Structure 1
Amino acid sequence: MSNLLLIVLMVAGGVAVALQPSINARLAEKVGFLQASTISFAVGTLVLLTISLITTQGSFKRTFEADWWQLSGGLFGAFFVTMTIIGVPRIGTTAVLALTIVSQLVAGLLMDHYGLFGMRGIPVDFKRLLGVALLLAGVALICRR
């Protein structure tokens, strides 16, 4: 996959992340927030299962060889989706996304610095801290009423 295609797909993924909380929050008005989270994951699971069964890449056979923490992504995803469903109607899509992005970057900065989960360590430096600080300032402006 070329870097250009990857960039285009990441931008599309970012747009999808921006759309998902508001769509799920509207669904929650009809069915409830836990039910909306469940439906969101069920639809996503069906789509991914279908694609996984059609494609020849990868295999489910080694799932039980994974460490417990390697299977926790779904738990974190469910928590995130549920929190966005609760947050969007109360503080708005922009505030939810701003808080999400800055908290992801702070967590990512720490994960990179310590090389967590066997990833390559990337030390915290002034430029990275300044970037996160500026994003924090932006979040403060966005969330301020």
Structure 2
Amino acid sequence: FLSGAIVLGIIAFAVVRMQGISLDWKAPAPWLFIAGGMLGGFYVTLSTILTPRIGAAALMAFLVAGQLLAGMLIDRVGFLGVAVREISLGRVAGAVMLLAGALLIRLF
């Protein structure tokens, strides 16, 4: 994780320099850095444990389905300054189909 943090720091610095803006490390609340690190560790650990048990394809399908559902929730409440977007019938149908696909990959 340390090497990944260093690489991301370098990339962030380079992108900020190319755009000509200054990077404000004090802007995000400190708990966001801690939560991000903990969630990253949880993600890697869970992926390592579940891959041999349910298979790589099923794991990826469930990860994408979970990310879509989390994204819909973030859009709905406007978390972290994201523009609020309503949950439409089309979004719900897409999420249901993606979840059904993940279940089909796992069960069949």
**TM beyond 0.5:** yes
Task: Look up the equivalent residue of 1:140 and give its one-letter code.
Answer: L
Q: Which runs of 5+ in 2 are unaligned?
A: 17-21
TM-score by length of 2: 0.79
C-alpha displacement of 1:75: 1.8
State the Cα distance separating 1:56 from its structure 2 match. Answer: 6.8
The TM-score with structure 1 as length reference comes to 0.61
Change (3 A) 1:79 1:138: same
Which runs of no fewer than 5 residues in structure 1 stay unpaired? 1-40
The answer to whether structure 1 residue 67 and structure 2 residue 36 are counterparts is no
Picking from 69, 78, 86, the partner of 1:123 is 86
Q: What letter is aligned with 1:63?
A: W
Report the counterpart of residue 95 of structure 2 in structure 1.
132
Alpha-carbon distance between aligned partners in 2 of 1:132 and 1:95, rounded to the nearest angstrom = 16
Structure 1 vs Structure 2 CA RMSD: 2.1
- Count of aligned pairs between the two proteins: 102
Identity %: 34
Q: How does 1:17-96 map to 2 (within 5 A)?
A: 41-51=1-11, 55=14, 57=16, 58-59=22-23, 62-71=24-33, 72-96=35-59
Match of 2:73 among 79, 91, 110: 110
